[in-house]
Amino acid sequence: MFSGSVRGGWIQPKAPARMATPRFSRRKGFLRMIEVADLRKSYGRFDAVSGVSFTVGRGEILGFLGPNGAGKTTTMRILTGYMPATSGRATVAGFDVFRSPMEAKRSVGYLPETPPVYPDLDVTSYLDFCARIKGVKSADRKARIDRAIEKARLGEVRHKLIGRLSKGYRQRVGIAQAILADPPVLILDEPTAGLDPQQIIETRDLIKSLGGDHTVILSTHILPEVSMTCGRVVIISKGRVVAEDTPENLTARLSSKGALRLEVRADTREAFDALRSVEGIVTVNPRGIASGNTILELQAEEGRDIRAAAARAIVAANIDLLSMSQVSLSLEDVFLELTTKDATQVSDVATRSEIFTPIVASEPRAESADHAPETPLAESADSKETR
């Protein structure tokens, strides 16, 4: 069933089309644990998922990324056998989720967006129930429950009613439920949503520790999470896969579009006028004013170094240049670049005549770029949307 794999070495994928794309060769021990081919789910005329295809190798942690409503949850629900697809094929651990749903379900641990817990049960009896319906043998049951409790660090609350637990603990109970029967595949729908920073780090570590033994699909719209936990990313937007690569490659692919950030002691107008003479600038975006200093971001033509020219122009205009730094694109920018068409068009089509028009569409970008990758701000804003 899982032919064409060399454990721990370079892989020779089956399909010749994949050979052409070198990014697959980075994957170790490529056994296809999850295969999704041209998956489609329509509600009347609306397509929630329109032709999604991807594969996940054994032991891989795949980040499933996309804005709200992109079709992440729908795809995951199809993979877990919660709902049937309109067309297309999906296999989990070699089992077709439509033809042999019971075997497929047995191979998957699933954490839905809201942890599926009964508030009126305590943690242990809840996990006991889960073990029973997941077909864990009665002899193994206690050991499995203890192991799940230990892995999800639920020891101190194991006899508490789930209804009395905090959101973070409930989420962990959900994770314990998913890993309980030790399935080869784990599908986690936004596992860190609603957790505090400490819990987020712990959960990420837990997920990382699960990779290797388990194949994990992790959906999120929190980008730092992806670069920290996932070996590979599939970005979907409006029901389609728009990119599939390692987080590093995705960032690298667009790093040439990185901007130059200037801090000058002048008002925006003066700075604009000073920069007007510089060759090779595509756009200038004001990024705010801090204690009388203006912060600007310059976008250069591709492959052109404008640092020296820009610095000279500012100084020549008798403006104090306070700092200058290269802004590399974060995953957020890549994400927006790929999921919003407008952003791409603006940067591609922009001409010199539009130079000094602040791009309104890129305002939220500014905010996220101002923060370090692990920004609780971005996370809380994101999680609000889902509620």
Q: Does residue 88 bind another protein (CB under 8 A)? A: no
Q: Does residue 69 bind another protein (CB under 8 A)? A: no
Of these, 24, 30, 64, 110, which contacts another protein (CB under 8 A)? 110
Of these, 20, 133, 139, 349, which contacts another protein (CB under 8 A)? 133
Q: Which stretch binds another protein (CB under 8 A): 80-88, 231-239, 290-298, 326-334?
A: 80-88
Q: Does residue 118 bind another protein (CB under 8 A)? A: yes
Q: Does residue 139 bind another protein (CB under 8 A)? A: no
Q: Which is nearer to another protein, 115 or 231 (CB)?
A: 115
Q: Which stretch binds another protein (CB under 8 A): 98-106, 263-271, 347-355, 368-376?
A: 98-106
Give yes or no for a contact between 180 and 148, defined as CB atoms under 8 angstroms apart. Answer: yes
- CA dist 91 → 10, 124, 179, 193, 288 (Å): 24, 32, 19, 27, 50
Contact positions with another protein (CB under 8 A) in 145-204: 177
Query: How far apart are CB 187 and another protein at their closest, in Å?
Result: 9
Q: Does residue 83 bind another protein (CB under 8 A)? A: yes
Q: Which stretch binds another protein (CB under 8 A): 111-119, 268-276, 320-328, 362-370?
A: 111-119
C-alpha span between 186 and 244 (Å, rounded): 19
Instruction: Residue 110: name the closest of 169, 174, 61, 193 by CA.
Output: 174
Q: Which is nearer to another protein, 91 or 299 (CB)?
A: 91
Q: Which stretch binds another protein (CB under 8 A): 130-138, 197-205, 218-226, 333-341?
A: 130-138
Kindly tell me the sign of the dihedral angle through the C-alpha atoms of 111, 112, 117, 119. positive
Contact positions with another protein (CB under 8 A) in 323-362: none
Q: Does residue 12 bind another protein (CB under 8 A)? A: no
Instruction: Residue 293: name the closest of 313, 316, 325, 323 by CA.
Output: 323
- CA dist 214 → 61, 118, 209, 302, 369 (Å): 8, 26, 9, 42, 33
Instruction: Residue 300: name the closest of 267, 338, 256, 266 by CA.
Output: 256
# residues near another protein by CB under 8 A: 30
- CA dist 176 → 6, 35, 111, 139, 209 (Å): 31, 25, 9, 19, 14
Q: Is 320 exposed, middle or buried (0-12, 13-18, 19+ CB in 10 A)?
A: exposed
Q: Which stretch binds another protein (CB under 8 A): 53-61, 103-111, 221-229, 293-301?
A: 103-111
Q: 33-62 mask for another protein (x: CB under 8 A)?
A: ------------------------------
Instruction: Residue 36: name the closest of 20, 18, 56, 21 by CA.
Output: 56
C-alpha span between 78 and 92 (Å, rounded): 11
CB neighbours of 301 closer than 8 A, spacing ≥ 6?
A: 280, 281, 282
Query: How far apart are CB 68 and another protein at their closest, in Å?
Result: 17
Q: Does residue 119 bind another protein (CB under 8 A)? A: yes
Counted residue by residue, the chain has a size of: 387
C-alpha span between 341 and 221 (Å, rounded): 18
Q: Does residue 112 bind another protein (CB under 8 A)? A: yes
Of these, 39, 56, 90, 117, which contacts another protein (CB under 8 A)? 117
Q: Does residue 140 bind another protein (CB under 8 A)? A: no
| Buried-exposed string 110-128: b where 16+ CB fall within 10 A, e elsewhere | bbbbebebeeebbbbbbbb
Residues of the shown chain interacting with another protein in the complex, contacts defined by CB under 8 A: 77, 80-84, 102-103, 105-106, 108, 110, 112-121, 125, 129-130, 132-135, 177
